């Protein structure tokens, strides 16, 4: 029997609330699908920072490295600057474990209206480059406080970085029977970094993935196509910044933050990958037990898929769809009154009741 060690970082705000429900559903999956999960929780959140002056212990990454995967909730607290939570916890994990793929499915769910009139049957995935690009700490400020103050922010794109994210996206397309890969940049304006991206993406697709259809757009045009014809995409490939923006646009097309999962994936599996909802700690609703746990539960399903438990993963997504299709249990963000727990339990029940 497969046995997986899972590190859980529930985090701040609604993180622990939605994490409880994901763990509940994982327990059901474990019992029915014949694998076992050894779960260890780590209290590395803003409270921990206020007490210890750091987001995680010095050997935090060494500890996490011994796990098969990390399930992450959300981090963010008004008392701790965002730079700290991001650069001392999330970024070290992403970069240290070479999680260079940020994977986000964009999929219509039953009973969840899209804000688009043509918003039915949307189903594509975004591969966002997660380790380099525009989100770098290279740069600085000059002449601070003076009239001539300037800031320099460097974008770093490497041939290796572009090649590996392209291969990951194309392999996913092939493995899942998806015909088309769409790449987005702004290489008419960002002429150094984005031209390098365009050239090497195209080369890798042509040399190694001849069976796939390939298209390249400027990201501004692609944003419009997301709205005009979202059904025409299979796998969308974009750099760190553009992928981030396109992902939230995608999430908006199919029902919002409470429903959007993501994976920070190390495709080589030489380090653990990390799975987390797209949403943050939602301080405005924390502590009320009303957050939607679907994004977290779905993230747990992505984790199982990555670990190779594809049937269990598929069953969890199906359970989410069944509950939404029935329409009886809905949290407030999707127009209902159910609590976080009621939603988690309904999905657990739907999982068990599948034939
Ligand atoms: P962060 O900086 O941590 O990303 P944020 O304020 O930018 O925080 P979120 O924490 O994701 O973003 O919250 C944005 C809005 O979406 C808030 O109004 C929040 O209540 C709502 N929201 C986020 N996640 C959920 C959820 N799971 N269920 C219901 N509402 C949610
Ligand atoms: Mg946010």
Q: What is the mean pLDDT for each group of 10 consecutive residues in the chain (355 residues)?
A: 95 98 96 94 97 97 98 96 91 95 96 92 97 92 95 97 98 96 96 97 98 98 97 98 95 91 97 96 97 98 96 97 97 96 98 89
Scan for tokens 């657990």, then name that residue. Answer: 348
* C-alpha span between 117 and 125 (Å, rounded): 21
From the CA of 293, give the closest atom in ligand 1.
27
pLDDT for res 1: 79
Burial class from Cβ neighbours inside 10 Å (0-12, 13-18, 19+) for residue 314 reads middle
Q: Which of 16, 72, 252, 285 to mutate to test the pocket of ligand 1 (most atoms within 8 A of CB)?
A: 285
Distance 213 CA to ligand 1 centre (A): 36
Distance 283 CA to ligand 1 centre (A): 7
Name the DSSP class of 7: E
pTM above the 0.90 mark? yes
Q: What is the mean pLDDT of the chain?
A: 96
**318-338 as b/e, with b when 16 or more CB fall inside 10 Å?**
ebbbbbbeeeebbbbbbebeb
Coil vs helix vs strand at 325 = helix
Distance 259 CA to ligand 1 centre (A): 11
From the CA of 285, give the closest atom in ligand 1.
20
User: By alpha-carbon position, which residue is closest to atom 29 of ligand 1?
Assistant: 291
Looking at the predicted complex, does its ipTM rise above 0.90?
Answer: yes
Cβ-Cβ contacts under 8 Å for 199 (sequence gap 6 or more): none
* C-alpha span between 258 and 276 (Å, rounded): 12
From the CA of 13, give the closest atom in ligand 1.
10
- Strands (E) located in 186-272: 213-218, 235-238, 261-265
Distance 111 CA to ligand 1 centre (A): 21
User: By alpha-carbon position, which residue is closest to atom 7 of ligand 1?
Assistant: 280
For 257-268, write each residue's pLDDT tens digit: 899 999 999 999
Cβ of 282 below 6 Å from ligand 1? yes
From the CA of 294, give the closest atom in ligand 1.
27
Cβ of 285 below 6 Å from ligand 1? yes
For residue 283, the ligand closest to its alpha carbon is 1
pLDDT for res 192: 96
pLDDT for res 277: 96
pLDDT for res 137: 85
CA dihedral in degrees (216, 221, 225, 228; nearest 10)?
-160
Helix, strand, coil share of the chain (percent; to 5): 45, 20, 35
What Rg, from alpha-carbon coordinates, does the chain have?
A: 20
* C-alpha span between 313 and 319 (Å, rounded): 10
Cβ of 281 below 6 Å from ligand 1? yes
pLDDT for res 263: 98
pLDDT for res 256: 83
pLDDT for res 355: 73
User: By alpha-carbon position, which residue is closest to atom 4 of ligand 1?
Assistant: 280
């Amino acid at each position: 029997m497969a046995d997986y060690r899972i590190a859980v970082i529930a985090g701040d705000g609604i993180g622990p609330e939605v994490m409880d429900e994901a763990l509940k559903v994982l327990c059901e999956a474990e019992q029915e699908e014949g694998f076992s999960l050894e779960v260890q929780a780590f209290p590395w959140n803003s409270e921990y920072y206020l007490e210890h002056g750091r987001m995680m212990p010095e050997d935090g990454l060494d500890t996490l490295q011994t796990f098969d995967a990390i399930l992450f909730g959300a981090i963010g607290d008004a008392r701790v600057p965002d730079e700290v939570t991001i650069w001392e916890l999330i970024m070290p994990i992403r970069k240290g474990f070479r999680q260079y793929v940020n994977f986000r499915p964009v999929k219509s769910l039953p009973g969840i209206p899209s804000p688009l009139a043509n918003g039915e049957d949307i189903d594509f995935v975004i591969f966002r480059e997660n380790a380099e690009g525009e989100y770098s700490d290279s740069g600085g400020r000059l002449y601070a406080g003076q009239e001539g103050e300037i800031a320099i922010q460097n974008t770093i794109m490497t041939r290796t970085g572009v090649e590996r994210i392209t291969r990951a996206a194309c392999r996913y397309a092939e493995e899942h029977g998806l015909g088309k890969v769409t790449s987005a940049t702004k290489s008419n304006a960002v002429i150094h970094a984005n031209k390098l991206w365009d050239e090497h993406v195209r080369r890798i697709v042509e040399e190694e993935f001849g069976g796939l259809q390939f298209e390249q757009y400027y990201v501004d045009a692609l944003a419009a196509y997301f709205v005009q014809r979202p059904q025409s995409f299979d796998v969308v490939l974009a750099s760190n910044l553009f992928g981030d923006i396109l992902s939230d646009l995608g999430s908006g097309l199919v029902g919002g933050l409470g429903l959007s999962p993501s994976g920070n994936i190390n495709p080589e599996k030489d380090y653990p990958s990390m799975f987390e909802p797209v949403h943050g700690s939602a301080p405005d609703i924390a502590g009320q037990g009303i957050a939607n746990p679907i994004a977290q539960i779905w993230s747990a399903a992505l984790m199982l898929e990555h670990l190779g438990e594809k049937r269990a993963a598929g069953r969890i997504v199906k359970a989410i769809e069944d509950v939404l299709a029935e329409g009886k249990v809905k949290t407030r963000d999707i127009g209902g009154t159910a609590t976080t727990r009621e939603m988690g339990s309904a999905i657990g029940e739907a999982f068990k009741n599948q034939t």
